[in-house]
Amino acid sequence: MKIDETAPRAERESQMLLKIEDFRQRRPRLIDEVVTMAHGAGGKSSAALTDHVFVEAFRNRELEQLGDGAVLTLPSGERLAFSTDSFVVQPIEFPGGSIAELAVHGTVNDLAVSGARPQWLSAAFVIEEGFSIDKLKEIANRMRDAAKAAGVTIVTGDTKVVARGAADGLYINTAGVGLIPEGRVLGAGLVQPGDKIIVSGQIAAHGMAVMLARGDLALEADIKSDTAPLHVLCEAVQAAAPDTRWMRDATRGGLGTVCNELAQTSGLGVILDERLLPVDATVLGACDMLGIDPIYVANEGRFVAVVPADQTEAAVAALRSHDEGAEATVIGELVAEPAGIVALRTPFGGTRIVDMLVGDPLPRIC
């Protein structure tokens, strides 16, 4: 959905308006009769499956928020965040990490961007018959170390064994609980025109690292996964920018899909600047060679935050004071119009609409 950047400005603006009206008419619809790999990619198909099957079946106020974790209020008045995630990455080890770190970081990060301070995790393992006991011990030890580094405790779990060939070796599910400090509220409904969008670091490294580690492509590059716990960075942003509106970690579907979720939920427009998107040159080169847009590539140690314009400088400085946030930067802003749309300003002066991820361009990456 590109605008003709060689056309006169007035014509480009007219093309944009026409495409926006066309775009607004489209909502993810579940038209498939069977589940496909695209339903697990985090884009339009995933949204359609979630909306028309799971939200429809389990509908309740907390679920309908469709956040990274459910925010719950206890009878005592205290609030907590509760999240769960499953990890089916192949291969289970890749440059910069493994399924063990992903299983911990993924749930810790979902809690952190929900405004919570992560406390406890559960861990459930689906193990294929024939899987090495020594390898299983190694994974358990790496999860222990990752949990310790993130300041959380794995307090309960479950184990299931399935027949050979039924589980790609190993699947892990983790669930987590975190406590939300009094007075802290985050949500797309708080976002306002003029707010700035910050990303905590360079994007697309995780998805490309996993893709190259599969060895299916005649391509080698020194790319490591960005998998990391985000709770410290999330706390730093909220301390420096106490009116932080919204946060989300950009995992499946990447930055582009997360920004679309923000636009659709808030009812505002998201304007991104392509020149400001932080992508490592090696990652960008690998994406270009494979015909993949880095804006849709998954991350496992990056989050997006929306903060008021007058608190943006302090938020970015707070992130950059940590090694994991050294490449944090402002990438765009919220606008009243075009409502519900994500648009990307190109370096050539043009604009293109960024849709949600369509299809399944990458192998299992989380």
Give tens-digit pLDDT for 76-111.
999 999 999 999 999 999 999 999 999 999 999 999
Q: Which of 365, 226, 244 is nearest to 310 (CA)?
A: 244
CATH number, domain 9-31+186-353 = 3.90.650.10
Contact between 96 and 224 under an 8 Å Cβ cutoff? The reply is yes
Taking a C-beta distance cutoff of 8 angstroms, is the pair 89, 211 a contact? no
- Is the pLDDT at 310 greater than 60? The verdict is yes
Residue 252: what residue type? R
Cα distance between residue 14 and residue 20, in whole Å: 10
Q: Calculate helix-pair angle for 99-113, 133-150, nearest 10 degrees.
A: 30
What strands lie across the sheet with 70-73, from one edge to the other? Answer: 70-73, 79-87, 170-180, 117-128, 153-162
DSSP conformation class of 181? P
Residue length of the chain: 366
Strand pairing category for 196-199 and 153-162: unpaired
Contact call for residues 296 and 250 (beta carbons, < 8 A): no
Strand, coil or helix: what is 3? coil
Establish whether the linkage from the previous residue to 338 is cis, with ω within 30° of 0. Answer: yes
Question: What Å distances lie between residue 9 and 148, 335, 341, 351, CA to CA?
Answer: 55, 20, 20, 11
pLDDT of 39: 84
Position 1 pLDDT exceeds 50: no
**pLDDT tens per residue, range 212-241:** 998 877 778 899 999 999 999 999 999 999
Strands 196-199 and 269-273, how do they pair?
unpaired
Cα–Cα distance, 65 to 60 (Å, whole number): 9
The torsion angles phi and psi of 332, rounded to 5 degrees, stand at 175, -165
On whether the CB atoms of residues 291 and 361 are closer than 8 A, the answer is no
% pLDDT > 90, the chain: 73
Higher local confidence (pLDDT), 182 or 23: 182
Least confident of 41-55, 217-231, 271-285: 41-55
- Domain map of the chain by residue range? 9-31+186-353, 69-180
Q: Quick: pLDDT tens for 151-195.
A: 999 999 999 999 999 999 999 999 999 999 999 999 999 999 999
Quick: pLDDT tens for 103-118.
999 999 999 999 999 9
Provide the mean pLDDT of the chain.
90
Residue pair 279/204 in contact (Cβ under 8 Å)? The answer is yes
Q: Which residue has the tokens 């358990």?
A: 140
Classify domain 69-180 at the CATH topology level.
Answer: 60s Ribosomal Protein L30; Chain: A; (3.30.1330)
